Structure formats: C-alpha cells, structure tokens
Amino acid sequence: MIKVLHLLLKFKNERLASGSDTINEHKKIAEEKGRLIWGHSSSKSTKLMSDKSRALYKNQFSKGIDTYCFFLTSIKGEQELYVGKLSEIYFRGEITSASPLKKFIPSYYAGNVGTGFPADKNNTLVDVSNFFKVDSKYVSRIKVRSSAKDFTSDVGRSSLFYVDINEDLEKLLIELLSNPEAKFQYEVEQEDVPDDVTVKDKPKDKPLKRLGSSTGSYKRDSKTSKNAIVTAKYKCEVDTTHENFVSRVTGENYVEAHHLIPMEYQDDFDTSIDVEANIISLCVGCHKKLHHATYSVIEPLIEKLYDDRIDRLKDCDIKLTSHKLHNYYK
C-alpha cells in the first residue's frame, strides 16, 4: 500500500502594520470564505517543490485521497501547529494578477501575487479548507519522509517538507473533519485566553454566514466561546460540582461551550448571538442532555439558564422571552 504524502510549511508569524499577524490574517480568510490560499514566501526565484512532487500530490487529489498541509511556527519559544485539508498546489505565476482566486489570499500580500518575481515572493501557494490549530504535541507525530526525523529535532534549514503522519494524528483529523461540533469544541480548547480575561457585554454585529451555507448556518468564533469558559472558571454552569476529568490541553476541568440561544436562530435577532452572554460552560453530560434529552428533562435547566443570563443578554440588545427560549428546545 502506498503511503499518503502530506506537506508541511515552516513560517515566521510576523507582526503586520495593521496590528494583526500572519496567523490571524490567514484564519480570517479561512473563516470568512471557507477556503484559504496560503502563499509560502521565498527569496529564491527557483521552485521549492519539483514538478514531479507536485504531480504526486495532484494524483492523490484526483483519487480523493485526504491530503493535509501543516503550518508550523514558533511563538515566544513555543511551537504552534495548524492544518488544512489540501486540494491544490500552485507555483508562482499560476495565479495571475487578475485571478478570482486572489479573494482567498490575505489582502496584505494578495496584491503582489501574479506580478512576477521579485515583487511576488510567493514561491508556492497551497489551497486548503478546514484550517485550524492542532495541539502542538502532534509535532512529534509528523516526520520528514526523506530522513524520518520529526519536527522536535533539527530538520535542516528548508521551509517546505514532504511529510508522513502517524496513525494517531490521522485518526484525529478524520474524526474532527467528519464531526463539525467536535471540531469546534477542539478549536475552543486550543484557544489561548488568559485567566484574567475581562468580558464586557455589549451589542455586536451579526456574524458572517458560512460561505455557500444554507440559511441559519452562521459561523461561531472559538475565541468568544473560550472567553465564556474562562470567565466561568471552567465550571459547569448547570451545576458547579460537575467534574468529569482534567483536560490535558488546559490543565483545568474539561467543559464545552454551548450557545443558550442556538446559532440556527440567529435570523430571529438583530444583533449577534455569538457573544459571551449567550455562551454557557457545560460539563459533557449536561451539554449532551441539552442537545439530546426529552423536553421534560431539560425544561428546568433551560429556565435556570434563562434566569442566570437574561440581564446579560439585554446588555447585548438580545431581546428574549422565556417562552421563546423554551420553544427553541421543544
């Protein structure tokens, strides 16, 4: 059996003039468009990837083989790892200056794409979907094919690597990409939010709908959910004594984020319901109960959570009656 070849790009997370940085600008495109074209910069005029290697990847794409591109950087001495499902690879010049594909490239360098070297330093561009952060422990599960070294060791000065991944990482990616809710909760856990984060309840504009989605499919911001969990001190807000296990990511009681007003009802409101005031920190059992139990079982829980949150929701200009909330769960 032929082993699937994946790709890894090492990059520097640069601070931009706008105050943003490399990661956040790429995340923004991925979230808004549902797709991202990442330009891998190089001062070299020659290709970083051979035609033969690209042909191998294209063969995998044509056969529907799940192929991943990993993005590795270091922030304050700590490695950060991101991943996207890879669907195409372009060489410099293949995306022209007038190409509609440029809308999937961050604006801070999209203008240079297709203008020719040296203005266009984007040597190789990768087209990915489902871009998200992965626990850095998986860095050791990715090995350079030519040397079998992982990225916790010295792999040389190159920034583009042909890589293999181990079974644990492959299973994780298959699970997360097949289960959007599990993927979202995983992304929430990966968000780095300080314990002393301050949340101010105020109205926010409605979030964007997912590109090409049906009515009601609004995107959720994982950092907003993590803010809500941290301000709840990683406690279950139905019952603070509910403790399942300690998360190996946060070192705290494991909880999940739940939107009290489900996001599918965003169209019923004039402002965003993806706000901390509408996000409840729940243990796994209570979270599953709210999603799957009969109404008679969850009715008192909904009433409790409504009473706990109605004042905060009002501060966000979210007009909600108890009757309306209960109807969402019937």
Of 24-38, 75-89, 139-153, 206-220, which gets the smallest average pLDDT?
Answer: 206-220
pLDDT single digits (tens) 269-294: 999 999 999 999 999 999 999 999 99
The reply to whether 174 and 111 lie within a common domain is yes
Question: What are the start-end ranges of the H helices in the chain?
Answer: 22-33, 51-62, 107-110, 167-178, 180-190, 222-231, 284-292, 295-315, 322-329
Identify whether residues 160 and 246 lie together within a single domain. Answer: no
Residue 214, pLDDT score? 44
Q: Which of 178, 201, 232 is the last residue of a domain?
A: 178
**Mean of per-residue pLDDT scores for the chain:** 94
Clarify whether residues 14 and 149 are in a common domain.
yes
- Predicted confidence (pLDDT) per residue in 305-330, tens digit: 999 999 999 999 999 999 999 999 99
Are residues 54 and 89 in contact, defined by beta-carbon separation less than 8 angstroms? Answer: yes
**How far apart are alpha carbons 17 and 108 in whole angstroms?**
9
Whether residue 216 has pLDDT greater than 80: no
Angstrom distance (rounded) from CA 144 to CA 163: 5
Q: What is the mean predicted confidence (pLDDT) over 213-236?
A: 86
Same domain, 155 and 236: no
Write the CB contacts of 227 (distance below 8 Å, at least 6 apart in sequence).
193, 197, 199, 276
- pLDDT of 23 strictly over 70: yes
- 29 and 160 both lie in a single domain: yes
pLDDT interval class at 1 (50, 70, 90):
low
Encoding tokens for residue 126? Answer: 């990768």
Residue after which a domain boundary falls, among 122, 152, 178: 178
Residues 29 and 173 in one domain: yes
- Do 228 and 151 reside in the same domain of the chain? no
In a domain, 14, yes or no: yes
Is residue 215's pLDDT more than 50? no
Q: How many CB atoms lie within 10 A of CB 236?
A: 23
Same domain, 111 and 241: no
Same domain, 132 and 274: no
CA-angle at 211, arms to 89 and 30, nearest 5°: 45
Number of domains in the chain: 2
Reply yes or no: is the peptide bond before residue 118 cis, omega within 30 of 0: yes
Structure confidence at residue 80 (pLDDT)? 95
| In a shared domain, residues 167 and 294 | no
Residue identified by tokens 């200009």 is 317
For residue 91, what are the domain limits? 6-178
- What digits encode the pLDDT tens for the residues 150-181? 998 887 788 999 999 999 999 999 999 999 99
pLDDT, one tens digit per residue, over 44-76 is 899 999 999 999 999 999 999 999 999 999 988
- The answer to whether residue 198 is domain-embedded is no
Listed residues 146, 178, 210: the one ending a domain: 178
User: What is residue 207's predicted lDDT score, i.e. its pLDDT?
Assistant: 86
CA-closest candidate to residue 240, choices 191, 183, 304:
304
**Judgement on whether residues 311 and 243 belong to the same structural domain of the protein:** yes
CATH number of the domain within which 144 lies: 3.10.590
Copy the structure tokens of residue 182.
Answer: 């599990």
Same domain, residue pair 45 and 151: yes
